[in-house]
Chains A and B, each alone.
Chain A
Amino acid sequence: MGKPRFRLYDEESLAKLARLQRENAWDLEREIDWAKGIDPLKPLVALDGDALLFPGASKEQRLAISQMMGLVIAAAIFEMEECLIRLRRECWEAFRDRMPVGPEFSDLGELFFEEELKHSTAFKRYTERYAELLGVELSELLAVLPSLENTRTEKLLKVDLRTRGQTFWWIVANVEQEFLRIHHALRPFKEQLDPLYYEIHHRHFEEEARHVPFPYLVLELLAERSPQPFRFVHGRADVAAAQVLQTLWTLSSLKRLKGVKKLQGVHPFFDTLISAFPILESMPAPQVVWKLLTSTPYVSSLVNLNSHPKVRKEAQARGAVVLPFPEFEGKPLVRY
């Protein structure tokens, strides 16, 4: 591994990064064309040949699956980012004052949280508008989408943070990479996707690209300054803990999609989606889990650290235990 570009006490590089972030930050209201609305006939994400877990799905079903996956991704993003904001005290403020932190790093941290709030607002607003389009309350739509607030996962993360654990920030590091990956996956299909959805992802990507160093800086601080013996234990165990928590949360989030059945008859979108469920239900559960871990676009790359070699290398360089996962199969995407 080469020398990292950003070091915790390197005021010049951190100040430059903060300046870059400030100068290039986008405005939620002025720079996203909310007036363009949502095109219900357009997909939100590109799919692979099997339409994720629905091989043989019809054209209408593929469209609905694409739109649902787009909403799942949007919800996963705003849930994770809202979780960051909710746990701000535990994951940032609690140790910012208790550990030696220079002004530039402190500044970067404030910017990081400011921007994450903006991102979650953007994706949540899009989801709200989609709910209106579908004729459901936002809460009804959110009931079938990923959720992190008050879950066991969030509670476990809080406990880990209280002992200066690193699990949370390893998840953030991994998720930041995943956000960039999602944008790269969507970009070739830009003209075919819902323009507003793509625009939000594009804006999100711009700022997330600049966020990438931040979790590693926090991890460096925790690795250097957390009290022993927590430092040793967390240093070794927390990547594995992150992998486990992330996998369990992702799988349980997808389970929530079953709740779509309750929305039968509310809108043709839900009916079409429900009509595709038998394809998934006909697959043996182990096969489904295997596919989710290895070859389902947008899902496998989130849970399988083999899909993010940079994060994996960083973890190994820091002496962390990385759980072995099956080989990641990045499948080519096609238009929905």
Chain B
Amino acid sequence: MSLRQKNATLRGLSTGWWSSSEPAPGKPILFFIHGFPDDAESWRPQFELFEQAGYPVIAPYLRGCGPSEPASDRVRYSRDAVVLDHLEILREECRTWGEREVVVIGHDIGGMHAWTLARMLGPRLKGLVLVNAPDVGQLLRRVTRPKQVAKSSYIPVFLVRGIADRWFGPEADRSVRFARKKGGLTQPLPLPGDVSSLLEHYRAAFRDFRRVLFQKPDLVRAPVLAIAGKDDAFLEVPTQQEFKGYADKVELRVLEGNHWLQIEQKDQVHRLIQRFVEGASHAS
């Protein structure tokens, strides 16, 4: 079995992703969505392990990152547009693998895309895993938590076009290293290059804030596993109450660790996801 990077023009834009070449029959697809300021490589410590165990894995590069071409139309960064890209990737792979259940796994802002994909998959969704990853609505509602407001103080800067784009543009390495250091990443992780387009994902999500705050999201009925770092520099640890109205069955795991748990606590996260996927978790 081996992983290969694929590229295709999906919905008019070049899109890249990693996927397994020969997954074992019957296993659900594990769909890994990265966050900021990362790319699909941030999930490699996990998707390699699962791929070796025979799971079909997909790890896309979010729109504007790596081989996924940036879009001139900012609408293509919205959650609704990104989920269509992801559904196209799934359709592409399922031509070879056949229809399978999907476990969606998101980190950081990848989490909000993971929630959106989870809602769109309906009965095909076997489970949703969130690693340091609240949904946009959950994050917005934390405005009453002073610590979260302090931790999210960088977001308003990200929302204003022109400032953060310089920091995370072609000379992004220094800024990415700074962000990763702040988030407690000590393990090596390849630098993603220009990630300024990933800022558009933040902007698109916050443009949508009225819908996020005032419209009830569709309930995710499949089990959800939320993994949080006790010392996450950017996110407060979630509570069960935050998931009311979002998901029926939530297993919450708090690990000693910071923001990049899938790398820093690789074995623990792997074990939790594996157990969850095999259906032995508390939430199932």
- Which residues of chain A have a CB within 8 Å of any CB of chain B? 8-9, 11, 96-103, 225, 228
Contact = CB atoms under 8 A, between A and B. Distances in A.
B241 interface: yes
Contacts of A103: 251-252, 282-283
Query: How large, as a class, is the contact surface on chain B?
Result: 10 to 19
Contact of A9 (B230, B244, B251, B282): B230
Nearest to B282: A103
16 contacts: A8-B254, A9-B230, A9-B256, A11-B253, A96-B240, A97-B239, A97-B240, A97-B241, A97-B244, A100-B237, A100-B238, A100-B254, A101-B240, A101-B252, A103-B251, A103-B252
Contacts of B237: 100, 225
A225 B252 CA distance: 15
Nearest to A15: B282
Contacts of B125: none
A102 B239 contact: no
B90 interface: no
A225 B241 CA distance: 14
B241 A100 contact: no
Contacts of B241: 97-98
Interface of B: 146, 228, 230, 237-241, 244, 251-256, 282-283
Contacts of B252: 100-103
B253 A9 contact: yes
Q: Identify which of A11, A97, A100, A225 gathers the most chain B CB atoms within 10 Å of its CB.
A: A100
A9 B265 CA distance: 14
Contacts of B251: 102-103
B139 to A, nearest CB: 15
Contacts of A99: 239
Nearest to A100: B237
A140 to B, nearest CB: 45
Contact of B239 (A8, A9, A98, A228): A98
Contacts of A98: 239-241
A9 B254 contact: yes
Nearest to B268: A11
Nearest to A95: B239
Nearest to A107: B282
A101 B238 CA distance: 9
A98 B238 CA distance: 9
A99 B239 CA distance: 5
A264 B102 CA distance: 76
A21 B146 CA distance: 39
A98 B252 CA distance: 12
A231 B120 CA distance: 41
A13 B228 CA distance: 19
A99 B238 CA distance: 8
Contacts of A225: 237
Contacts of A9: 230, 253-256
Contacts of B283: 103
A9 B255 CA distance: 7
When A and B form their complex, which 8 residue pairs have the shortest distance between CB atoms, in order from nearest?
A: A103-B282, A100-B237, A97-B241, A9-B254, A97-B240, A98-B241, A100-B254, A98-B239
Given A9-B230, A9-B255, A100 B239 contact: yes
A9 B272 CA distance: 13
Contacts of A101: 239-240, 252
A14 to B, nearest CB: 12
A81 B160 CA distance: 57
Contacts of A96: 240
Contacts of A8: 254
B231 to A, nearest CB: 11
Nearest to A11: B253
B173 to A, nearest CB: 34
B144 to A, nearest CB: 10
Contacts of B254: 8-9, 100, 102
A102 B256 CA distance: 13
A16 to B, nearest CB: 15
Contacts of A11: 253
A96 B228 CA distance: 16
